[in-house]
Every structure is written in C-alpha cells, then in structure tokens.
Amino acid sequence: MTKTKVLLSGKIFNDLHEDLAGRYELRSNQADEVLDAATLGQMIADREAAVVTPVDRIDASLLAQAPNLRLLCNIAVGYNNIDVEACTTRRIMVTNTPGVLDETTADLGFGLLLAAARRVVESDRWVRGGQWQAWRTTAWLGHDVHHARLGILGLGRIGQAIARRTRGFAMEIAYHNRNRLAPDVEAAFAARYMDKGELLEWADFVLLCLPYSPATHHTIGIAELQCMKPDAVLVNIGRGGLVDDAALIEALRARRIAAAGLDVFENEPQLQHGFFDLDNVVLTPHIGSASFATRRAMCELALQNLHAALAGAVPPNLLNPQVLAAAP
Ligand code: GLV
C-alpha cells in the first residue's frame, strides 16, 4: 500500500518523529531550519498532509502550490498563521491543539505580570552589572500585585486559568469579551464584566489573552494606552498584533504606563528595536506553552489529529467541519 505523503515543517520530539517516519512517507525538517515561503512551497508541493507550526504562513498562494493537500495540523492553539477560509475553499481540513496548553500559558502570563510589576529582570541585570552596593529604603520600588485590580481581555480557557491563579493574591478581576459569559461562569471567577474603556481605566494590570484576527488587531493602541493608569502594567500572552508595538514603546518610554511583560510581538522575531532601550519591559520569545510536558502534549495532539483524519475519521480538533459536507 502506498504511504501518505506527509510534511513535518519543524522539529518535534525524536520518538514521535520516528513513529511518524514509520507510518507515512515523511518529509521533515528535524534540523529545525527557518523555512522561507519559497522553501516551504517546495517542501509542501506534493504533500497530502502537513504538520505545521505558528511560524509557517499558510496562505492562498502557498496552498496553490500544493494541489494534493487535504489536511493541515497546526501545533498550536492559535491559527492566525493559516488562512482557514482559503483551506475550506480548497476542502483542506485544518486542526489545532486546544486545551493542553492553558495552564502552562497561564503560568507564563502570571510570571510576566509579577516580573514586570516587581522589576525582576531589570534588577537582575543591575545585580549582574555589579552595581549593588547597599540596601536602600526607596530603591527598586515596584507595584503590588496582591489586592490589585486585574483586567483580562479575553476570559477564555487561558484567561480563566489566570483568574484562578489570582485567588492567592486576593486580586479583583474584571474582564471584557466579545460575548459576555454566563452569570454562573462570571460568579465562579468573581469576574465583573466591563466594556473595554471602563476596564482600561479601572485596572492596575491589563492582561491580553485573545486570539488574533482582523477584529482584534491593535486592541491596545494609542487611545487605549492613554486610558490606562500611569501605574498600570500591560501583559500580552495572546498574539503579536493585538498591541500596537510602536505605540506601546512610546507609552513605556514616556512612562504613560509603568511597565509591560510581553511574550508575543508584531512581526516576531523581528522586534521593534525601541523595546531594547527600555528597562520597564520584560521580553520573552513566544514561550507561553514551552514546558517539556506541554509542548509534548501539543505535538501528541497534533499527531492524533493527523492520524485520525488520515484514517478517515473526523479529527478531534477540526476547525473547519464545513469541508466534510458533501461537495456541491
Ligand atoms: C502558541 O502560541 C499557540 O497558539 O499555541
């Protein structure tokens, strides 16, 4: 029996890679080279299925180069790297990896919040620079996290995991979602619903865990930064593009807000250089889900989707079930 032609665009755990290589006619990038669009186009051209990651831009022009492609499995919950509509038009199934990364991503979000508020990274740099000479009563002051107000933009699975973490810190929670949650869910998290403007004025910490789409582009821009308190801290663990990075750099430089903790950026990994000159921002390289256990769970879930679909079943995390409808 001929084996299905599968592309794996980035490195995964070796044992999972071996298993894939045994099942399919596999073309893979275990060396984890950065693939430009032309190389990805060549690698995907004759493939029937592909396992891809958030760095792979799968747009209509790439799909046009892969006439046999029937399945794309993203190793990520976010899928703004994939033009799902274009896939649906070509009857290509798309899957993602929801659920397995919520707690890990929430850990990082809360870590960034603490680090930015209490100046952990900035003071670490200072200690390493040999500048610490004495304990000073008024040196290195930051902002309290305990009993503070946290405004969450996007109280979905990850936002709710953050909200659970705030209990030990006795924080007050408000949130804004496109669709308000049911009263029992709000009550479970003691979360007040606010419109975005009200939340920005109210919060000491504003945390973004929204998906990116044209509708959420620049959720935080110049006008929103101006609404925030001068002592406020902004955290983004959602996606680059939710924040207008140039506007944020300007607000941090002018101390219109106190600090930021950022895991995701516009045009990452090419960050705006203005970030590098600022002490009041903590920068991490899109590592929200990067724990040993969680990245493994994400790979396993992506492969479950692959195996299910290639065996003719409905993959558990199918994003565009319309492709299963009978052809018109
Ligand atoms: C990572 O950013 C993801 O969306 O899973």
- Superfamily for domain range 5-98+292-326: NAD(P)-binding Rossmann-like Domain (3.40.50.720)
Using pLDDT thresholds of 50, 70 and 90, give the confidence band for residue 235. very high
Task: Please report, rounded to a whole number, the percentage of residues in the chain having pLDDT higher than 70.
Answer: 99
Rounded Cα distance, 48 and 44, in Å: 8
Averaged confidence pLDDT in the chain: 97
Residue in this structure with the two tokens 């919060």, named with its chain if needed: 203
pTM of the model: 0.96
CA quadruple 62, 67, 70, 72: dihedral, nearest 10: -20
Same fold, 5-98+292-326 and 102-283: yes
Phi, psi of 275 (to 5 degrees): -60, -35
Is 146 one of the annotated active-site residues of the chain? Answer: no
Locate the ligand 1 atom nearest the alpha carbon of residue 264 and give its number: 2
pLDDT of 327: 62
Enter the DSSP assignment of 82.
B
One-letter amino acid of 85: E
Check if 289 has its Cβ closer than 6 Å to any atom of ligand 1. Answer: yes
Q: Which helix (H) or strand (E) holds 63?
A: helix 60-64
Mean pLDDT of 295-316: 98
Residue 81 CA to ligand 1 center (angstroms) comes to 10
Check if 76 has its Cβ closer than 6 Å to any atom of ligand 1. Answer: yes
- What residue owns the CA closest to ligand 1's atom 4? 78
Is 164 one of the annotated active-site residues of the chain? Answer: no
Residue 217 CA to ligand 1 center (angstroms) comes to 17
Residue 326 has pLDDT above 90, yes or no: no
Residue 240 has pLDDT above 80, yes or no: yes
Instruction: Identify any residues that bridge with 259 across adjacent strands, giving them in sequence order.
Output: 233
User: What tokens were used for 186?
Assistant: 């709000």
Kindly give, in sequence order, each residue whose CB lies less than 8 Å from that of residue 115, ignoring residues fewer than 6 positions away. Answer: 121, 261, 282
* Catalytic pick among 172, 186, 268, 300: 268
Residue 260: name the closest of 289, 34, 189, 271 by CA: 271
Locate the ligand 1 atom nearest the alpha carbon of residue 75 and give its number: 5
Residue 328 has pLDDT above 90, yes or no: no
Locate the ligand 1 atom nearest the alpha carbon of residue 239 and give its number: 2
Is 217 one of the annotated active-site residues of the chain? Answer: no
Rounded Cα distance, 102 and 313, in Å: 26
* Catalytic pick among 176, 239, 266, 295: 239
Rounded Cα distance, 104 and 309, in Å: 27
Residue 240: name the closest of 55, 6, 96, 15 by CA: 55
Domain boundaries, the chain: 5-98+292-326, 102-283
Cα Rg of the chain (Å, integer) = 22
Check if 54 has its Cβ closer than 6 Å to any atom of ligand 1. Answer: yes
Number of H helices, E strands in the chain: 12, 12
Phi, psi of 141 (to 5 degrees): -75, 140
- What residue owns the CA closest to ligand 1's atom 1? 76
Distance of CA 281 to the CA centre of its chain: 18
- What residue owns the CA closest to ligand 1's atom 3? 76
Mean pLDDT of 9-35: 97
Using pLDDT thresholds of 50, 70 and 90, give the confidence band for residue 325. confident
User: What tokens were used for 54?
Assistant: 């958030």
Mutation probe of ligand 1 site: the residue of 105, 212, 294 with most atoms within 8 A of C-beta: 105
Check if 77 has its Cβ closer than 6 Å to any atom of ligand 1. Answer: yes
Give the CATH fold of the 102-283 domain: Rossmann fold (3.40.50)
Rounded Cα distance, 291 and 124, in Å: 23
CA angle (276 as vertex; 233, 117 as ends), nearest 5: 20
Check if 71 has its Cβ closer than 6 Å to any atom of ligand 1. Answer: no
| 205, 145 Cβ separation under 8 angstroms | yes
pLDDT digits (tens, 9 = 90+) for 51-99: 999 999 999 999 999 999 999 999 999 999 999 999 999 999 999 999 9
Mean pLDDT of 191-211: 98
